[in-house]
Amino acid sequence: MAANNDALASKIAKWKTLVDQHPDHELARYSLGSAYFEAGRFADAEPHFARALELKSDWVMAYLFRAKCLMRIGRAAEARPLLLLGRTHSQAQGHDAPIEEIDALLEMLP
């Protein structure tokens, strides 16, 4: 377990350094958000997914993970429009795989 925590801390540090060096690099932002998400640090992850979407507005997985973060930090009402946008982009790009997960999350929302 400690090795896993060390690996995650190392991953977070790596991506944080890249974000600090290149704050407008969407992949670095997404990757840092993903590392925080993996660590269960959803409030830390959410703004990085948000920034990735500002930089690349059709990134389906960034919509999906940002919505998941919002749901986990008690801001579920903000997740619905993100999921709907992610679904629209997924359809437009011909990516059917995320649609099932998006639809399942939408069903969980009030």
Q: How far apart are CA 56 and CA 102, in angstroms?
A: 19
The pLDDT score that the predictor gives to residue 2 is 66
The pLDDT score that the predictor gives to residue 110 is 83
Q: How far apart are CA 45 and CA 48, in angstroms?
A: 6
Q: Which H helix or E strand runs over 21? A: helix 2-21
CATH number at residue 8: 1.25.40.10
| 2-11, 13-22, 101-110: range with lowest mean pLDDT | 2-11
**Arithmetic mean of pLDDT, 5-34:** 96
Q: Above pLDDT 90, what percent of the chain?
A: 93
* pLDDT tens digit sequence for 50-85: 999 999 999 999 999 999 999 999 999 999 999 999
Q: Report yes or no: 109 and 78 within 8 Å, Cβ to Cβ.
A: no
Domain residues for the domain of 12 are 2-108
The pLDDT score that the predictor gives to residue 4 is 85
- The domain total for the chain is 1
Mean pLDDT, the chain, whole residue set: 95
